[in-house]
Protein backbone atom coordinates (compact mmCIF):
# COMPACT_ATOMS: atom_id res chain seq x y z
CA UNK A 1 0.00 0.00 0.00
CA UNK A 2 1.04 3.65 -0.37
CA UNK A 3 3.00 5.24 2.46
CA UNK A 4 1.30 8.01 4.44
CA UNK A 5 3.52 10.71 5.90
CA UNK A 6 1.61 13.97 5.68
CA UNK A 7 -1.14 15.60 3.70
CA UNK A 8 -2.34 19.16 3.15
CA UNK A 9 -5.77 18.52 1.71
CA UNK A 10 -9.22 19.82 0.98
CA UNK A 11 -11.78 18.76 3.61
CA UNK A 12 -15.28 17.33 3.11
CA UNK A 13 -17.74 17.11 6.05
CA UNK A 14 -20.15 14.19 6.57
CA UNK A 15 -22.20 15.68 9.38
CA UNK A 16 -23.96 12.49 10.53
CA UNK A 17 -23.34 10.17 13.47
CA UNK A 18 -23.40 6.37 13.23
CA UNK A 19 -22.56 6.16 9.53
CA UNK A 20 -22.52 2.42 8.90
CA UNK A 21 -20.55 0.44 6.36
CA UNK A 22 -23.65 -0.37 4.29
CA UNK A 23 -24.06 3.38 3.72
CA UNK A 24 -20.36 3.69 2.89
CA UNK A 25 -20.50 0.85 0.33
CA UNK A 26 -23.85 -0.96 -0.09
CA UNK A 27 -24.02 -4.75 -0.01
CA UNK A 28 -24.57 -5.27 -3.76
CA UNK A 29 -21.02 -4.09 -4.44
CA UNK A 30 -19.34 -6.71 -2.24
CA UNK A 31 -19.06 -9.36 -4.96
CA UNK A 32 -15.63 -8.18 -6.06
CA UNK A 33 -12.50 -8.54 -3.91
CA UNK A 34 -10.13 -6.64 -6.22
CA UNK A 35 -9.74 -3.74 -3.74
CA UNK A 36 -10.02 -1.21 -6.59
CA UNK A 37 -12.91 0.30 -8.52
CA UNK A 38 -15.18 0.97 -5.53
CA UNK A 39 -14.72 4.75 -5.42
CA UNK A 40 -17.61 5.57 -7.80
CA UNK A 41 -19.97 3.67 -5.47
CA UNK A 42 -18.89 5.36 -2.22
CA UNK A 43 -22.02 6.46 -0.31
CA UNK A 44 -23.96 5.20 -3.32
CA UNK A 45 -27.50 5.58 -1.96
CA UNK A 46 -26.76 9.08 -0.71
CA UNK A 47 -24.95 10.27 -3.85
CA UNK A 48 -27.29 8.97 -6.56
CA UNK A 49 -31.02 9.17 -7.15
CA UNK A 50 -31.26 5.70 -8.72
CA UNK A 51 -30.47 2.15 -7.59
CA UNK A 52 -26.78 1.39 -7.97
CA UNK A 53 -25.52 -1.93 -9.28
CA UNK A 54 -22.00 -3.22 -9.99
CA UNK A 55 -20.66 -2.25 -13.40
CA UNK A 56 -22.86 0.81 -13.87
CA UNK A 57 -21.43 3.89 -15.57
CA UNK A 58 -21.76 6.30 -12.65
CA UNK A 59 -20.97 9.30 -14.85
CA UNK A 60 -24.44 8.89 -16.41
CA UNK A 61 -26.39 8.44 -13.18
CA UNK A 62 -28.68 11.12 -11.68
CA UNK A 63 -27.09 12.83 -8.66
CA UNK A 64 -28.59 13.99 -5.38
CA UNK A 65 -27.27 17.54 -5.64
CA UNK A 66 -27.73 18.28 -1.93
CA UNK A 67 -25.27 15.57 -0.84
CA UNK A 68 -21.88 17.00 0.08
CA UNK A 69 -19.78 14.74 -2.17
CA UNK A 70 -21.72 16.08 -5.16
CA UNK A 71 -21.15 19.75 -4.34
CA UNK A 72 -18.45 21.48 -6.46
CA UNK A 73 -16.74 23.01 -3.40
CA UNK A 74 -15.79 19.56 -2.10
CA UNK A 75 -14.54 18.01 -5.34
CA UNK A 76 -11.05 16.60 -4.88
CA UNK A 77 -11.32 16.41 -1.09
CA UNK A 78 -8.75 14.16 0.58
CA UNK A 79 -9.73 14.52 4.24
CA UNK A 80 -13.12 13.43 5.58
CA UNK A 81 -14.70 14.96 8.70
CA UNK A 82 -17.15 12.64 10.43
CA UNK A 83 -19.14 12.28 13.61
CA UNK A 84 -19.37 9.63 16.35
CA UNK A 85 -19.15 5.91 15.62
CA UNK A 86 -18.11 6.25 11.99
CA UNK A 87 -17.89 2.91 10.17
CA UNK A 88 -20.27 0.96 12.41
CA UNK A 89 -22.22 -2.05 11.15
CA UNK A 90 -20.74 -5.01 9.29
CA UNK A 91 -16.99 -5.54 9.17
CA UNK A 92 -16.70 -5.34 5.35
CA UNK A 93 -13.21 -4.25 4.28
CA UNK A 94 -14.80 -2.88 1.11
CA UNK A 95 -15.68 0.25 3.12
CA UNK A 96 -12.09 1.53 3.46
CA UNK A 97 -11.39 0.27 -0.07
CA UNK A 98 -14.14 2.58 -1.38
CA UNK A 99 -13.00 5.51 0.74
CA UNK A 100 -9.38 5.17 -0.38
CA UNK A 101 -10.32 4.58 -4.02
CA UNK A 102 -12.45 7.74 -4.00
CA UNK A 103 -9.43 9.76 -2.88
CA UNK A 104 -9.72 10.18 0.89
CA UNK A 105 -6.51 9.52 2.82
CA UNK A 106 -7.51 10.62 6.33
CA UNK A 107 -10.74 10.57 8.36
CA UNK A 108 -11.20 12.69 11.47
CA UNK A 109 -13.98 11.79 13.92
CA UNK A 110 -14.68 11.68 17.68
CA UNK A 111 -14.93 7.86 17.52
CA UNK A 112 -14.87 4.96 15.08
CA UNK A 113 -16.25 1.45 15.05
CA UNK A 114 -13.40 -0.85 16.13
CA UNK A 115 -13.15 -3.13 13.07
CA UNK A 116 -13.48 -0.27 10.60
CA UNK A 117 -10.81 1.65 12.54
CA UNK A 118 -8.42 -1.29 12.23
CA UNK A 119 -9.25 -1.85 8.55
CA UNK A 120 -8.35 1.75 7.74
CA UNK A 121 -4.77 1.21 8.88
CA UNK A 122 -4.52 -1.97 6.80
CA UNK A 123 -5.46 0.00 3.69
CA UNK A 124 -3.34 3.13 4.05
CA UNK A 125 -6.01 5.41 5.55
CA UNK A 126 -5.25 7.40 8.70
CA UNK A 127 -8.24 7.47 11.09
CA UNK A 128 -7.78 10.31 13.59
CA UNK A 129 -9.71 10.57 16.86
CA UNK A 130 -10.21 14.10 18.18
CA UNK A 131 -12.59 15.38 20.88
CA UNK A 132 -16.19 16.15 19.87
CA UNK A 133 -15.70 19.83 20.72
CA UNK A 134 -12.75 19.98 18.32
CA UNK A 135 -14.85 18.36 15.60
CA UNK A 136 -17.58 20.96 16.21
CA UNK A 137 -14.98 23.67 15.54
CA UNK A 138 -13.64 21.97 12.41
CA UNK A 139 -17.14 21.36 11.00
CA UNK A 140 -18.11 25.00 11.57
CA UNK A 141 -14.94 26.28 9.90
CA UNK A 142 -15.22 23.85 6.99
CA UNK A 143 -18.85 24.70 6.28
CA UNK A 144 -18.18 28.44 6.54
CA UNK A 145 -15.09 28.55 4.32
CA UNK A 146 -15.01 27.34 0.73
CA UNK A 147 -11.76 25.57 -0.02
CA UNK A 148 -11.12 24.73 3.64
CA UNK A 149 -7.98 22.64 4.06
CA UNK A 150 -6.24 20.86 6.91
CA UNK A 151 -2.64 19.84 7.30
CA UNK A 152 -2.21 16.35 8.75
CA UNK A 153 1.33 15.43 9.74
CA UNK A 154 1.81 11.85 10.88
CA UNK A 155 5.41 12.27 12.04
CA UNK A 156 4.45 14.97 14.56
CA UNK A 157 0.92 13.57 15.05
CA UNK A 158 -0.72 16.94 14.52
CA UNK A 159 -3.71 18.34 12.64
CA UNK A 160 -3.31 22.03 11.79
CA UNK A 161 -5.98 24.43 10.56
CA UNK A 162 -5.50 27.35 8.10
CA UNK A 163 -5.58 29.71 11.10
CA UNK A 164 -2.68 27.86 12.72
CA UNK A 165 -4.61 26.02 15.43
CA UNK A 166 -3.01 22.65 16.05
CA UNK A 167 -4.44 19.46 17.56
CA UNK A 168 -2.45 16.41 18.66
CA UNK A 169 -3.70 12.91 17.95
CA UNK A 170 -2.66 9.48 19.24
CA UNK A 171 -1.46 6.49 17.26
CA UNK A 172 0.41 3.37 18.35
CA UNK A 173 4.09 3.18 17.31
CA UNK A 174 3.39 -0.02 15.34
CA UNK A 175 0.57 1.51 13.29
CA UNK A 176 2.58 4.68 12.74
CA UNK A 177 5.53 2.65 11.45
CA UNK A 178 3.31 0.69 9.07
CA UNK A 179 1.57 3.76 7.63
CA UNK A 180 4.74 5.80 7.22
CA UNK A 181 6.43 2.92 5.42
CA UNK A 182 3.43 1.74 3.37
CA UNK A 183 3.33 -1.66 5.06
CA UNK A 184 0.18 -3.76 5.26
CA UNK A 185 0.31 -7.11 7.06
CA UNK A 186 1.87 -8.84 4.03
CA UNK A 187 4.46 -6.10 3.59
CA UNK A 188 5.27 -6.22 7.29
CA UNK A 189 5.81 -9.98 7.08
CA UNK A 190 8.06 -9.60 4.02
CA UNK A 191 10.37 -7.35 6.02
CA UNK A 192 11.45 -10.63 7.64
CA UNK A 193 11.85 -12.54 4.38
CA UNK A 194 15.49 -13.48 5.04
CA UNK A 195 14.61 -14.84 8.48
CA UNK A 196 11.69 -16.79 7.04
CA UNK A 197 13.87 -18.35 4.34
CA UNK A 198 16.50 -19.26 6.94
CA UNK A 199 13.87 -20.93 9.13
CA UNK A 200 12.48 -22.86 6.15
CA UNK A 201 15.99 -24.09 5.32
CA UNK A 202 16.59 -25.30 8.87
CA UNK A 203 13.14 -26.88 8.99
CA UNK A 204 13.75 -28.82 5.77
CA UNK A 205 17.05 -30.17 7.10
CA UNK A 206 15.57 -31.12 10.46
CA UNK A 207 12.41 -32.76 9.09
CA UNK A 208 13.09 -33.73 5.47
CA UNK A 209 10.24 -36.24 5.37
CA UNK A 210 7.78 -33.36 5.35
CA UNK A 211 9.18 -32.19 2.03
CA UNK A 212 9.39 -35.56 0.23
Window from 28-37, 129-138, 168-177 with minimum mean pLDDT: 28-37
Q: Assign 182 to helix, strand or coil.
A: coil
In a domain, 136, yes or no: yes
Domain enclosing residue 21, as ranges: 6-172
pLDDT at 2: 86
pLDDT digits (tens, 9 = 90+) for 106-151: 999 999 999 999 999 999 999 999 999 999 999 999 999 999 999 9
In a domain, 1, yes or no: no
Counting residues of the chain whose pLDDT is more than 70, the rounded percentage is 100
pLDDT at 73: 97
> Is a pLDDT exceeding 80 seen at residue 158?
yes
Q: Assign 80 to helix, strand or coil.
A: strand
Residues in CB range of 196: below 8 A, 6 or more apart: 189
- Chain-wide mean pLDDT for the chain? 94
Mean pLDDT, residues 75-86: 98
Residues 59 and 162 occupy one common structural domain: yes
Query: Which class for 96: exposed (0-12), middle (13-18), buried (19 or more C-beta within 10 A)?
Result: buried
Domain CATH for 132? 3.20.19.10
In a domain, 120, yes or no: yes
| Partner residues linked to 167 by β-bridges | 159
Residues 42 and 141 occupy one common structural domain: yes
> Is a pLDDT exceeding 90 seen at residue 201?
no
Strands 6-13, 79-81: parallel, antiparallel or unpaired by DSSP? parallel
> Is a pLDDT exceeding 80 seen at residue 36?
yes
What's phi and psi for 189, nearest 5 deg? -65, -40
Do the beta carbons of residue 117 and residue 127 sit within 8 Å?
A: yes
pTM, two decimal places = 0.90
Helix (H) or strand (E) holding 176: helix 173-180
Pick from 85, 135, 92, 132: which is nearest to 113 by CA? Answer: 85
Strands 79-81, 106-109: parallel, antiparallel or unpaired by DSSP? parallel
pLDDT at 185: 78
Residues 122 and 211 occupy one common structural domain: no
pLDDT at 142: 97
Domain count, the chain: 2
> Is a pLDDT exceeding 90 seen at residue 174?
yes
Residues 117 and 204 occupy one common structural domain: no
In a domain, 177, yes or no: no
Residues 200 and 167 occupy one common structural domain: no
Amino acid sequence: MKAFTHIDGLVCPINRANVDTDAIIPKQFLKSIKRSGFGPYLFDEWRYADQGEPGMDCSQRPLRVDFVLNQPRYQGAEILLARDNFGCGSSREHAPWAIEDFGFHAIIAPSFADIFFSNCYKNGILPIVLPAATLDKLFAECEAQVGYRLNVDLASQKVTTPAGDSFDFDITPHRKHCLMNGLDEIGLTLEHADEIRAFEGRHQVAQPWLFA
